[in-house]
Amino acid sequence: MDKKHILIVDDDPAILRLLSTNLKARGYEVIAATDGEESLEAVQGNFVDLIILDLMMPKVDGVEVVRRVREWSDVPIIILSARGDENDKVKCLELGADDYLTKPFGIAELMARIKTAFRHRGDPTVSPAQSNFVCDGMEINYAKRRVSVDGKEVTLTPTEYALLQHLAVNSDKVLTHSMLLQSVWGNEYSSEKEYLRVFVGRLRRKLEPDPKNPKYIQTIPGVGYHLAAVA
Amino acid sequence: MKASESILVVDDDLDFLKIISRILGRKGYEVETVPSAGKAISRLKERFYNAAILDISLPDAKGTELLPRIIEMHPDIIAIMLTGHSSVQNAVESLNRGAFAYLEKPLDPENLLSVISRGLEKQRLVMENRGLVEELERHNRITNTLLNVSQAVSQSLDLQEIIDAALDKVTQSTGLEANFLYLNENEQLLLKGHHGFSRRIVQAMPKELNKDSGVIGRIFGEAKPEIIEELAKYAGTDLSFLSKGGYLSFAGTPLTILGESIGVLGVATSFAHYFSVNNIELLTGIGREIAIAVRNAQLYEEASSARALRELDSMRTEFLANVSHELRTPLAVIKGSANSLLQPDVIFDEKTQRDFLSSIDKDADTLTRLVDDLLMMSRLEAKALEVRKKSHKLAEVIDSIKDRLDTLTAKHHLHIDIPETAPPVTIDEGRIGEVLTNLVENAVKFSEDNTTISIEAQPNGKEVILCVADEGVGIPAELHHQIFERFFQGDGRKTGRRKGTGLGLAICRGIVEAHGGKIWVESGLLKGTRFSFSLPVD
């Protein structure tokens, strides 16, 4: 299997060295950038499988990078931040980042989150029994990992798709918050309620004709979410 | 009981007078009769009559000649002429001279009464109207005065200026030289202004009063004005300074906003029994205007300090966010490096291991410097910086930091010029060393390799000026003041450097000022930078 390419972006050379050494030792190819502008150039120039991105940088800051990358790419993005601000976290996730880590962090934790992000991208070992899922205008083609609403294709990031697929495969059940978090993200995420709320919001904005009154993804208050099989 | 309207009847026919008297008396009028013009005049000089009935031919004068004299004396009187023979000329003349009506003898009593009734009604209306017009004019005068006062006191938002302007206006508007003002502060009434009192009396004025003490306390508490007509009879101590000063009467009015008291305005005069309901009304109105202006000034002060507090608060929050970031960054390197070495799944080669350990070491130093800066800053904030001054030669100070300077300027040319003749200075060697080191660090940060950084000293009378100059990117003129402020971050540093806390120059300024000196910068974009600071000579 080809080595995965990871772009790391941080204005502190010591952090770049730290990340680079650890990633290379674990079999990843590393591209480094020290500011937002350089990072955008790198994403356009190279084939990048994942971005690890620091928030506070000169010229173009991390938030702006996420916004711009998401305009045309669904590459997984993990945010590294020394600010530790809850609002920042939610804002980045809503803008399209896949995960958020606060400095200082442990190496094992970072590696696990990288694995999760790649898993959402498309793990061929997980294939549903049916080939597709249809519900009142929305169609999911599992094999091709393509989603369309009323014939129009909708672009989803890997994490968004993973969440939607999970809801669709289990459409005859109500899935609780922690079940969803554990299945889609992993055990260590079981209490990250913010993630679920933000990603369901992102899906609704992309799929629902009226995101405020969703017909596909239903909220079961206090319990979890449910994807309607028949509208 | 309503006073009866009075009628004077002037006729030399005594029988007629008796009959008329009875007719009018029965109707409730107060009637007086006189037989001649002369007697009529003397009665009219003594009192007012609502109406006068005159015969046209009197023994000592013509009725038509008496008429204008009566009207001159009592312009509002209703005058009715009685004519004996039907003479149009007489009638017209009477009316021209101001009679209300003329009647022909023999009289029809009903007619007479009806004319009198109409006349008196008209008189009543005129007098009422006149009263209203006077009242309106009085109100106008008061309103104008209040407008004057209001304009005078709203020229400023400074509380003391407002109070002084207000008391000045009170004097102008009322003619009362002596006045004073108490304001409620923390449940006490504090003397906040006075006007027109001699210094001796001002000294005797109570600066603080209890809210329930004396007449001033009562005026405040009940939000109602009060008059003391004779101060000699007043027992309270709060106004004893007035009686001592020879003032005989006093009036006080509360300063109210929406019915609530915020203070008391007092005026005094050396006349007894001076104040009345009328001039109190003006005073109370002035009190309300002053209250509004004072409240405005107080609110403005509160808002300014609230705004200042909010600004300080947001600066602090911003600073803490900055600090958090600055602390977490070296921590991340330390944690990440140590953690990497501990991971079981990867063993690094020896060089890489040393690199990790070296990172830990370096960033531990960074953290230490950061903590020191923060401590220094908190001392500066609390103005608790310790400065141990001794006499030193400048050359010694440079020597003590020479090694560090050499390391810093490894890639630059360092040029030091301290003349032999430079006088010794009284300083804390360590602190001034820190200032110089900091300035050199900045010079290195903001200029290219292989450029010159110079340190010079110049005696200047009672002080010595030290300068650190570089040939770097320079600082634009508009930032020359801001760079010394805490938390200020410059830009244009070389790439790869981490942001500082923005405290370096603030700390330098704090140290220099603690020595009684000044620090400043001369610089322009791309023209290099020269920091100078002064130190006092022994």
B511 half-sphere exposure, CB direction, 13 A CA radius: 24
Q: Do residues A55 and A95 make contact, with C-beta atoms less than 8 angstroms apart? A: no
- Determine the 3-state secondary structure of A97 from DSSP: coil
Query: Which H, E and C letters describe A9-57, residue by residue?
Result: ECCCHHHHHHHHHHHHHCCCEEEEECCHHHHHHHHHHCCCCEEEEECCC
Rounded to 10 deg, the angle between the A36-45 and A62-70 helix axes is 30
| Greatest Cα-to-Cα distance within chain A, rounded to the nearest angstrom | 54
The CA distance from A214 to A134, in Å, is 16
Contacts of A35 in chain B (CB under 8 A): 495
Which tokens belong to B401?
Answer: 């930091």
* Interface test with chain B among A22, A26, A52, by most B beta carbons within 10 Å: A22
The CA-based dihedral angle spanning residues B385, B389, B393, B399, taken in that order and rounded to the nearest 10 degrees: -40
Q: Which among B335, B352, B498 has the least Cβ separation from residue A12? A: B498
* Interface test with chain A among B319, B324, B346, B348, by most A beta carbons within 10 Å: B346
The CA distance from B284 to B224, in Å, is 9
The CA distance from B237 to B250, in Å, is 14
Nearest to A148 by CA among A163, A164, A166: A164
The CA distance from A160 to A120, in Å, is 8
The CA distance from A165 to A144, in Å, is 12
Return the pLDDT at A1: 56
Q: Which among B325, B328, B345 has the least Cβ separation from residue A104? A: B328
Residue spans of alpha helices (H) in B389-529 = 394-408, 429-445, 504-514
Return the pLDDT at B288: 87
Q: Do residues B58 and B10 make contact, with C-beta atoms less than 8 angstroms apart? A: yes
Nearest to B227 by CA among B212, B248, B198: B248
Buried b (16+ CB within 10 A) or exposed e, A84-106: eeeebbebbbbbbbbbbbbbbbb
Q: What end-to-end distance do the CA atoms of chain B give, in Å? A: 98
Model confidence at A12, pLDDT cuts 50, 70, 90, reads: confident
Laid out side by side, the sheet with A138-141 consists of: A132-135, A138-141, A146-149, A152-154
Which tokens belong to B496?
Answer: 């790869």
Q: Do residues B440 and B468 make contact, with C-beta atoms less than 8 angstroms apart? A: yes
CB contact under 8 A, A15 and B362: no
Which ipTM did the prediction report?
0.73
H or E element in which residue A8 lies: strand A5-9
* Interface test with chain A among B326, B327, B343, by most A beta carbons within 10 Å: B343
pLDDT tens-digit profile, chain B (538 residues): 457 899 999 998 899 999 999 999 999 999 999 999 999 999 999 999 999 999 988 889 888 888 989 988 898 899 999 887 667 777 788 788 888 888 888 888 899 999 999 999 998 888 888 888 888 888 887 788 788 778 877 777 788 888 888 898 888 878 888 999 999 988 899 999 999 998 889 998 999 998 888 899 999 999 999 998 888 888 788 888 888 888 888 999 999 988 889 999 999 988 877 787 777 888 888 888 889 888 888 888 888 888 888 887 877 777 777 777 778 888 999 999 999 999 999 999 999 999 999 999 988 988 888 888 888 877 877 777 777 888 888 999 999 999 999 988 999 999 999 988 888 998 988 889 999 999 999 999 888 899 999 999 999 888 999 999 999 888 888 888 888 876 666 654 433 344 555 678 988 998 998 888 999 999 988 889 999 999 988 7
Return the pLDDT at A193: 80
Q: What end-to-end distance do the CA atoms of chain A give, in Å? A: 42
How would DSSP label each residue in B186-244?
TTEEEEEEEES--HHHHHHS-SEEETTSHHHHHHHHHT--EEES-GGG---STTHHHHH
Nearest to A207 by CA among A145, A142, A137: A137
Contacts of A107 in chain B (CB under 8 A): 336, 339-340, 343
* Interface test with chain B among A15, A101, A110, by most B beta carbons within 10 Å: A15
Contacts for A161 with CB less than 8 Å, ≥ 6 apart: A120, A145, A147
Model confidence at A122, pLDDT cuts 50, 70, 90, reads: low
Return the pLDDT at B493: 40
The CA distance from B178 to A105, in Å, is 76
- Determine the 3-state secondary structure of B329 from DSSP: helix
Contacts of B345 in chain A (CB under 8 A): 26
Kindly state the percentage of chain A with pLDDT values over 90.
26
- Measured from the Cβ of residue B503, the count of other Cβ atoms closer than 10 Å reads 22
Phi then psi dihedrals of residue B288, to 5 deg = -65, -40
Burial of B108 (0-12, 13-18, 19+ CB in 10 A): exposed
Q: Which amino acid, residue B6?
A: S
The CA distance from A220 to A175, in Å, is 9
Residue spans of alpha helices (H) in A71-154 = 86-95, 107-122
The CA distance from B52 to B39, in Å, is 13
Return the pLDDT at B516: 87
**A-B Cβ pairs (cutoff 8 Å, strict):** 76
B321: nearest CA in chain A?
A83
Peptide bond into A104 cis (omega under 30): yes
Return the pLDDT at B1: 44
How high is the mean pLDDT of chain A?
85
Phi then psi dihedrals of residue B305, to 5 deg = -70, -30
Q: Do residues B504 and B380 make contact, with C-beta atoms less than 8 angstroms apart? A: no
Per-residue pLDDT reduced to its tens digit, A125-139: 445 566 788 888 899
Per-residue pLDDT reduced to its tens digit, A33-78: 888 888 888 877 778 889 999 887 767 778 888 888 888 788 899 9
Q: Do residues A53 and A114 make contact, with C-beta atoms less than 8 angstroms apart? A: no
Return the pLDDT at A123: 54
Pairing type for strands B188-195 and B208-210 reads antiparallel
Nearest to B101 by CA among B145, B109, B92, B322: B92
- Determine the 3-state secondary structure of B425 from DSSP: strand
Phi-psi region of B274 (alpha: psi -120 to 50; beta: other; left: phi over 0): alpha
Q: Which among B331, B352, B362 has the least Cβ separation from residue A21? A: B352
Which tokens belong to B503?
Answer: 């405290």
Which tokens belong to B31?
Answer: 């009637």
Question: How far is Cα of residue A157 from the mean position of the Cα atoms in its chain?
Answer: 6
B451 half-sphere exposure, CB direction, 13 A CA radius: 18
- Measured from the Cβ of residue B212, the count of other Cβ atoms closer than 10 Å reads 11
- Measured from the Cβ of residue B194, the count of other Cβ atoms closer than 10 Å reads 18
Contacts of B359 in chain A (CB under 8 A): 14, 17-18
Q: Which among A11, A14, A103 has the least Cβ separation from residue B328? A: A103
Return the pLDDT at B338: 95
Average pLDDT score over residue span A200-204: 93
Which tokens belong to B190?
Answer: 């504090």
User: Is the CB of residue B337 less than 8 Å away from at least one CB of chain A?
Assistant: yes
Burial of B433 (0-12, 13-18, 19+ CB in 10 A): buried
Phi then psi dihedrals of residue B34, to 5 deg = -135, 150
What are the Cα distances from residue B336, in Å, to A207, B164, B332?
40, 68, 6
The CA distance from A147 to B83, in Å, is 119
B324: nearest CA in chain A?
A83
CB contact under 8 A, B343 and A14: no
A85: nearest CA in chain B?
B321
Which tokens belong to B463?
Answer: 């002080």
CB within 8 Å of chain A, chain B residues 470-499: 491, 495-496, 498
Q: Do residues A153 and A146 make contact, with C-beta atoms less than 8 angstroms apart? A: yes
Q: Which among B331, B345, B356 has the least Cβ separation from residue A104? A: B331
Buried b (16+ CB within 10 A) or exposed e, B507-522: bbbbbbebbebebebb
The CA distance from B180 to B239, in Å, is 11
Burial of A25 (0-12, 13-18, 19+ CB in 10 A): middle
Burial of B243 (0-12, 13-18, 19+ CB in 10 A): middle
